[in-house]
Amino acid sequence: MLRLSKKLLFALEAVVDIAHNGGAEPVQSKEITRRQGIPQRYLEQVMQQLVHAEILEGVRGPRGGYRLARERRKITIGDIARVVRAMEKADDPMADPAGSDLGHMVVRPVWQEVQDELMARLDGITVADLCQRAVEQGIRSEAMTRMDFSI
């Protein structure tokens, strides 16, 4: 069951930060922590899972960090939410056999429909969409300020 958690918010912010600020160079986790205020201990856990899920790619070395593993238009909020949901290993109340017929045959199916609709909506929103919103909100990309157009 999807729930809005700090981990999910941090994961979304981190992936969008990488997409928005990354450019050609990998983004170091300390840069994300500085820009987004995400605690380092949360960030590293989430980043490793996002690498494992092939949403991010880890780059080793002194100039290493993270970059998107796919084009930002091919990564959805739903993709990220599924990774975080798997990390949070909370018991799914929908799977609990306890409950009445009313709960099993009426309430839970409605709740499952709502969850399915939410995931479908999240699957329709890409990281590129969120980067576009950032631009529309006037949030500057550090990648753009690092570009050198001199010849």
Q: Which residue has the tokens 């969409």?
A: 129
**Per-residue pLDDT, 143:** 76
Q: For residue 70, is pLDDT > 80?
A: yes
Q: For residue 147, is pLDDT > 70?
A: no
Q: For residue 89, is pLDDT > 90?
A: no
Q: What is the mean pLDDT of residues 52-81?
A: 96
Q: Is 86 exposed, middle or buried (0-12, 13-18, 19+ CB in 10 A)?
A: exposed
Q: For residue 57, is pLDDT > 80?
A: yes
Q: For residue 63, is pLDDT > 90?
A: no
**Per-residue pLDDT, 49:** 96
More confident residue, 63 or 122: 122
**pLDDT band for position 146 (50/70/90)?**
low
**Per-residue pLDDT, 151:** 54
Per-residue 3-state assignment (H helix, E strand, C coil) for the chain: CCCCCHHHHHHHHHHHHHHHHCCCCCECHHHHHHHHCCCHHHHHHHHHHHHHCCCEEEECCCCCEEEECCCHHHCEHHHHHHHHHHHHCCCCHHHCCCCCHHHHHHHHHHHHHHHHHHHHHHHCCEHHHHHHHHHHCCCCCHHHHHCCCCC
**Per-residue pLDDT, 4:** 87
Q: For residue 148, is pLDDT > 70?
A: no
